[in-house]
Structure 1
Amino acid sequence: MKKMLKFLFYFILIFSLASCNMQDNENGSPKANGESPSAGKERPKPIVKGVRDVDVLNTHGSIDGIERMQRFYEDMKSGESSDLRIVFYTIEGDPIVKDLKYNGESLEVKNDSTRDTYGSGEIETISCGQLIEEVNPTNTSYIATDCKEVPYGMEEIIEIEYNVSQQDLFEIDLKYGENLENEINTKTATIKKKNGVTEPFHMNENVKQEMYNRLVFANYLGEKGGLSSCDQPDAIKYNLKVYINGGQQEISWKECDDSQEGLKFTKIANYIIAQSDQKQTEKPEVIVQGYVLERENNTLLIGEELNKLDYEWMKDEIKQMDMDSFIFNFTVLEGVPVEEYQLGDKIRATIDGNIIGSKPGRAKVKEIKKIK
């Protein structure tokens, strides 16, 4: 129950943040979108009052410094000693500090809630073995494993959410060119090229999901302190408006901007432009990815988009609670050789047709495989 409330609370915070008017005005996980973190001049570290040397700042889902989290993970994979400081803001605006220290063999996680007015006011130190990065189509999690004296032997370090279906509205308007003469607008479903001709354009949901993924990893909601100006008069200009729920975020930069942030947004713009030049699939394949929660009569019940820690918690909770109580989606996959799969296996399945119903939905499987 505590875990469920945490997810509901987190979702509400993200919705509230995105619904604001965005007055406070990096590319993602290598596995999440097929690209390595951008090179270039790194943006300044986040500033948090009363906390020094912050590497990553999570402000209710808007995450500044994702690339430093990725670098720490890569350091651990290569056995290189490293440390990282993450700060999470509570709803009241108090910082909670999570310090990671890897000595080449083991990982120490220190949770400091002494600045949280409504927290325990304690510093908790956890000894762990490794760190895993788990990438799903709509979220990426970093989880410490082989931890002592914590539930399931795991401690969630940070989760990056980018599920576009949880947004009431997500559209973009990208203008680009020496004089911003080209435009791709998913809100009006039109596209305008250099010749001035406007044509209808539809972007399918899979592309929108990938675009939203990239924008979240670029921290599009955050302040754009990392963007730099450049003096090339004939440089391609970009202006990107993101319409999210009841709010709007606008970002302007030039192609010659060699900052880490500028390079990321240029890659995002180029992705959008490349997609606009391709015929969008009217009915893209439906993919289900998640953990096996139940298996019987040639069917598998899948908890979609779960990470390893979510599964360990949910495998017991789902027996006691109604599925409507969870924010996760569940799908019963039909026509599966269940003897090949065990509870806790993570699978990726292509659906034959569509998913019928919800909580749980039901679908026939075209292809299915285990994934790590």
Structure 2
Amino acid sequence: MKKFQFILFVLLFLSGCSNLNPVPSSTTYEPQQKDVINNHGGIENIEQIDQFVNNINNGENDEVRIIHYTIEGDPIIWDLTYDGTSIQSRYDTTYDKFGSGKVEKHSCERITKSEMDTEIAYKLECNGQQEDVLTVQYDTEKQDKFEFHFKYGVDKKNEVDTANQRLVKDLQNGEVSTVSDFQFNRKELNQIYKAMVLTNYLDQKDLSNSCNKKPYESYELTIWINGGERHFEWTECDISKHGLQMNKMKNNILHVIRDNETYKSLPPTKGVYQ
């Protein structure tokens, strides 16, 4: 009888401990389609947290999940839920093998977004204290190396090559205009790097080179970042998730190129592709 009572006491004790410090049912977490993912600077689905901030400002109920991956590859899950009055924060480190293994919950008043030349920062305000929810950095001066070669347009006749300081504009009449000592200023480089970071350029992309229209624009982008290299090829017809991401990035890069003073000094296009 005493042995049975001892076993029952142990079982109840262990049960109480598991409630205080819950252990996930699985040792891994599979990201969901709308999760905002921060994987060592690689950002996915940042538009979800932007929508969350906008909805709160408009008084609309909403929720968002942010996944921060540790150096070891473990996810830390941060859930934010707005109920029309306050933001409920749930910070889950139970999947982190080297973390505290706890779930922390508290109520917050608001979330803010600040956008600067080198970073975007989202912060929670909770009981007069600020918490960093997500910071996206795109400061090229903090990189050992940042160069890219971008070819675009019909037959990819337009080029920007920062490594060789080369700019080529297709005049669309069989001629091109070339600058052999072209350079972006630091602000322009940061804007281009920002477009790449927000597209999660470090991730693998499933892109298509095919297009069922003529003529069509195609794109080729090679990025050299620190000791690494990334290469992408796609067309305007690629409407897959990754294709749409890359086309949005392309538009942002082209906006910077076309606002550049050297580019604006080049001759205008003299023809139109039919």
Q: Same fold (TM over 0.5)?
A: yes
What residue identity is the alignment partner of 1:266? K
- Identify the residue that residue 124 of structure 1 maps to in structure 2: 104
- Identify the residue that residue 268 of structure 1 maps to in structure 2: 252
What residue identity is the alignment partner of 1:162? Y
The alignment status of 1:113 with 2:93, answered yes or no, reads yes
Following superposition, the deviation at residue 83 of structure 1 comes to 0.8
- Identify the residue that residue 50 of structure 1 maps to in structure 2: 29
TM-score by length of 1: 0.57
- Identify the residue that residue 244 of structure 1 maps to in structure 2: 225
Report SS of the residue matched to 1:267. helix
Measure the CA separation in 2 of the matches of 1:111 and 1:181: 50
Residues 220 and 91 of structure 1: CA distance in aligned 2, closer, same or farther (over 3 Å): same
Report SS of the residue matched to 2:120. strand
The alignment status of 1:165 with 2:146, answered yes or no, reads no
Residues 109 and 227 of structure 1: CA distance in aligned 2, closer, same or farther (over 3 Å): farther
Following superposition, the deviation at residue 134 of structure 1 comes to 1.3
TM-score by length of 2: 0.76
Task: Choose 1 or 2 for highest CA Rg.
Answer: 2
Following superposition, the deviation at residue 96 of structure 1 comes to 0.8
**Aligned equivalent of 1:142, options 101, 105, 122:** 122
Following superposition, the deviation at residue 243 of structure 1 comes to 1.3
- Identify the residue that residue 213 of structure 2 maps to in structure 1: 232
- Identify the residue that residue 187 of structure 1 maps to in structure 2: 163
**Unaligned segments of structure 1, at least 5 residues:** 1-47, 281-372
List 4+ stretches of structure 1 deviating above 6 A: none
- Identify the residue that residue 102 of structure 1 maps to in structure 2: 82
The alignment status of 1:221 with 2:202, answered yes or no, reads yes
Report SS of the residue matched to 2:264. coil
Measure the CA separation in 1 of the matches of 2:31 and 2:40: 20
Residues 279 and 162 of structure 1: CA distance in aligned 2, closer, same or farther (over 3 Å): farther
Measure the CA separation in 1 of the matches of 2:222 and 2:197: 14
Following superposition, the deviation at residue 52 of structure 1 comes to 5.3
1:245-285 CA distances to partner (integer Å, 9 max, x unpaired)?
111111222223445414312313422441361369xxxxx
Following superposition, the deviation at residue 166 of structure 1 comes to 0.2
Report SS of the residue matched to 1:188. coil
Following superposition, the deviation at residue 212 of structure 1 comes to 1.2
Residues 173 and 254 of structure 1: CA distance in aligned 2, closer, same or farther (over 3 Å): same
Following superposition, the deviation at residue 73 of structure 1 comes to 1.0
Measure the CA separation in 1 of the matches of 2:149 and 2:117: 24
1:335-363 CA distances to partner (integer Å, 9 max, x unpaired)?
xxxxxxxxxxxxxxxxxxxxxxxxxxxxx
Report SS of the residue matched to 2:72. coil
**Aligned equivalent of 1:85, options 65, 68, 71:** 65
Report SS of the residue matched to 2:156. coil
Residues 247 and 279 of structure 1: CA distance in aligned 2, closer, same or farther (over 3 Å): farther
What residue identity is the alignment partner of 1:221? L
1:135-187 CA distances to partner (integer Å, 9 max, x unpaired)?
12111111111x14xxx522211111111110111111111122222211011
Identity %: 33
Following superposition, the deviation at residue 63 of structure 1 comes to 0.8
* Alignment RMSD (CA, Å): 2.4
